[in-house]
A and B are shown apart, each in its own frame.
Chain A
Amino acid sequence: MKQNLAFPVKEFETRIENIRKEMDSRSIDLLLISSPENIYYVSGFDSIGYYQHQVLFLPLADRQPMLLVQAVEETLVAATSWMDNYELWSHGSDPIKKTIDKIKDLAGDSPNIGVEKAGWWLKIGNYEQIKEKLPKATFTDVSDLIPELRIYKSELEVEYVRRAAEFSDIGLEKAIDTVQEGVTENDVAAEVYHALFKNGSEYSPIPFLISSGAKSTSLHGTPSDKVIENGDVVTLELGGVCKRYTVNPLRTVVIGKPTDKIKEVHDLLHEALTKATKAVKPGVPVGELDRITRRITHKYDSGRLHRTGYGLEAGYPPAWMGNLSILDGAPHILEPRMVFSLEPTIVLREEGFGVVLGNNILVTENGYELLNKIPLDLISK
């Protein structure tokens, strides 16, 4: 019963065709796909059970792909993926032995196997076992193969991204409404969660960041029972999620009158984000966007703790980022159907505050589409 297939089968077939072309050009006989994002991209299989060993075997065109998952996932394979060719392992059995047997079955004793060596999900201990049992096989790193294809979104993916953006704006608006003197960060989180889930947003690959006062300097601070006080800078980052595609806007709220320093920092980020956004069009190197924001914020260079942004992809915890890195020196050139965040931030630890500001952007044929609609102004309450 294919009740929850996120994409038409034809779209999966096109993806597989493109992957196989890449496999062919790299002389790969068999892909061992272990990351849940890439398994989702190829098959549609969508489960929270990826803490257990799972592999999608993608051989060359003469053989069918096959999915190996823990027994509890059987009904979800049937419901969310197009794949009828799957096998199960049960607690008490050895899924690694089954993986080795399946490799031999699909590609013989000495294949060139593509493995996601920079990924998290094929554990090193299991990989070593597989290598030991297949001494004639070659293991080639293909960590970039599927993520590079995923950078370019299809029409339906763009639809999901836009829906995720709507969710994220609903959540962010609720956060901005709720933040005020006397409430706790947890109170804000509760309202945001309620609004997002009530509207149908899915669980987020990264926890929401709601940090007030000195905590705003930690950048990745999650909500706590801290009471928001007059004078606090409150940083907000949250993800709206549709069909695992996430959009993550960031805004900053000040309780009371912002100091001149806070205003100066926010003004710089506003200018940096606006100018970088306006520079988005096909043909521009991604590094140029990073350089634009850094030229504007150079006075506070030591407070710029991370890159200007990154690609947003269908994701599972612990990350929603893709291969695209909005960083000086990164290799990509902007092309239509890329989706990424622009989120320059400045943290002034000695001043006791951090300021964040960010939107998600879709590259179009002639320029860009701004996915988040909430104004960029510093919010004072």
Chain B
Amino acid sequence: MKDLAFSEEEYRRRFDLVCHMAQKRKIDYLLITEPSHVCWLSGFDPSGLFYKNQIQIDVKSGDIAVMTHRTEEKMAAMNSWVDRLLIWHHGSDPMRIAVDHAKKYLAGGGEKVVGMNLQTPYFPIADYYAIRGGLGNIGVVDVTKMIDDARMKKSKPELLAIRQSAEWAGEALKAAYAVIKPGVKEKDINAAIQEKIASSGSEYPAFPTIVSSGPRTGLFHALPGERIIEAGDPIMIEIMGVHKRYHTSVVRTVFAGTASQKARKIYKVVLNAYEAGLSAIKLGNPVGDIDKATCEVRKDYKQYIPARTGFGVELGYPPSPMGNLSILQGEPYVLEPGLAFTMEPSISGYNDWSIIIGNCVVITETGYDLLFDQNVGLLEIG
């Protein structure tokens, strides 16, 4: 019995698009190991990401097969539209199985070109060489960017999933606000977030929840710990909502009790950067314009800008839900309907703190939608 996250028609659309792109690049065969690509194309959504999962596609015939470990066999049969499964088990050699299957399509007719993910963590060097050695005389091209580009503009069903994930993350943020006050620990805030987000139905995130307070916000990627929140502390929270593996991220800095004048000043700069970023969102303009606008506002704090202004949100697995889209000056993409990304300017390390304000943006035919609360003014709680 099939239990697909999207209609077979939606998967076929994606499959046809990728096969078309592969044909244009004279690629004969695809061997895909990046789990977000595997899921996007086939629906296969394993929790055993370590099981050397892959899909193989013969571009000309359209034959497709999913390879996984025996433990995930039922999962693959249920949540992918693909019927052909290649199953390995402990004690067998998965790369041998992969090679034997591919050889059926690649034998004869001169050198064939195989597209693989060369820019994913989910293709160990040893596996790559085992496959190359097994397949003999083939040409290899990296198709990571090609497939990332293919999935950058979201379909209507994908946008529905993204909006649902944002709703859940937004509710979890409210649950965090409800427990914040001087005297509670960071881990207490995290417990409230996790309880809310799990009960809502959000799936496990590619990126864990960030809760940090006071000087720990300066660590930027700090996870919740034992620190007790003190009056006046900034609290940095980043939560990912996940539906059908589509992620959204909401990130905010709020204050326990009353914020100091120093903190207010920095918050104001970041808020101005956030608003400048929104003003720079114009259909047809380069994505880098947004980064340029937020950096311009933060120019007096240039050495405290830790990262790009944002990133594309995608169907994803640990350790990252990010796509090819980078909200950074010099990037090649322009703003088009269907793009979804975070906009999260920050200042980090100044006064030992981080102040960050973020939202998720979906580009529409007429402009853009924001997926999280638009009231981002300084919030003092407790």
Contacts and interface: CB of A to CB of B under 8 A. Distances in A.
B289 interface: no
Contacts of B47: 206-207, 209, 220-222
Interface in A177-216: 186-187, 189-200, 202-203, 206-209
A248 to B, nearest CB: 13
B349 interface: yes
B74 A91 contact: no
A218 B207 contact: no
Interface in A55-100: 70-76, 79, 91-92
B5 to A, nearest CB: 12
B319 interface: yes
Nearest to A143: B126
Given A125-B142, A186-B200, A318 B49 contact: yes
26 contacts: A48-B207, A51-B320, A73-B221, A76-B219, A117-B124, A117-B126, A118-B124, A121-B121, A122-B125, A123-B123, A124-B124, A125-B119, A125-B142, A127-B125, A190-B194, A194-B191, A200-B187, A202-B223, A221-B47, A221-B75, A305-B70, A305-B89, A306-B90, A316-B319, A327-B91, A349-B74
B319 to A, nearest CB: 4
Given A50-B319, A318-B50, A71 B307 contact: yes
A220 B72 contact: yes
B319 A190 contact: no
Contacts of A126: 119
Contact of A124 (B46, B123, B219): B123
A349 to B, nearest CB: 6
Contacts of A277: none
Contacts of B124: 117-120, 124
Contacts of B207: 48
A51 B195 CA distance: 26
A49 interface: yes
Contacts of B223: 48, 202-203
B263 interface: no
A217 B90 contact: no
Given A48-B223, A123-B118, A208-B204, 17 more contacts: A48-B210, A49-B221, A72-B221, A91-B308, A120-B124, A123-B123, A125-B119, A143-B126, A186-B198, A190-B196, A194-B195, A199-B187, A221-B47, A221-B75, A306-B70, A318-B49, A318-B317
B188 interface: yes
B135 interface: no
Interface in A338-354: 349
Contact of B204 (A218, A222, A319): A222
B318 interface: yes
A128 B188 CA distance: 46
B126 A120 contact: no
A321 interface: yes
B155 interface: no
A73 B74 CA distance: 40
Contacts of B330: 92
Contacts, number: 173
A153 interface: no
A114 interface: no
Of listed A72, A187, A190, A197, residue having the most chain B CB within 10 A: A197
A191 B198 CA distance: 9
B220 interface: yes
A120 B203 CA distance: 23
Interface residues on A, range: 35 or more
Interface in B309-349: 317-320, 322, 326, 328-330, 348-349
A224 interface: yes
A329 B223 CA distance: 40
B328 A128 contact: no
B222 interface: yes
A365 interface: no
B209 A203 contact: yes
B208 interface: yes
A92 B331 CA distance: 9
Interface of A: 47-51, 70-76, 79, 91-92, 115, 117-128, 141, 143, 186-187, 189-200, 202-203, 206-209, 217-225, 305-307, 316-319, 321, 325, 327, 329, 349
B121 A120 contact: yes
Interface string B44-73: 001111100000000000000000011110
Nearest to B116: A124
Contacts of A221: 47, 75
A53 B78 CA distance: 35
The 7 closest A-B pairs by CB, nearest first: A317-B318, A51-B320, A207-B204, A125-B118, A190-B199, A193-B194, A318-B49
A21 B149 CA distance: 46
A220 B126 contact: no
B201 interface: yes
Interface string B194-238: 111011110110111110000000111111111000000000000
Nearest to B226: A200
A219 B78 CA distance: 13
A195 B199 CA distance: 13
Given A76-B219, A124-B128, A317-B318, A220 B75 contact: yes
Given A219-B71, A318-B318, A123 B120 contact: yes
A141 B127 CA distance: 12
Interface in B82-138: 89-91, 118-129
A51 B322 contact: yes
Choose among A47, A123, A127, A222 the residue with the greatest number of B CB atoms under 10 Å from its CB: A123
A146 to B, nearest CB: 15
Nearest to A121: B121
Contact of B188 (A196, A198, A203, A224): A198
B160 to A, nearest CB: 16
A217 B198 contact: no
Contacts of A305: 70-71, 89
Contacts of B201: 186, 224-225
A56 B72 CA distance: 34
A187 B118 CA distance: 40
A203 B322 CA distance: 19
Residue of B50, B207, B348 with most chain A CB atoms under a 10 A cut-off = B50
A119 B48 CA distance: 16
B306 interface: yes
A319 B78 CA distance: 23
Nearest to A1: B215
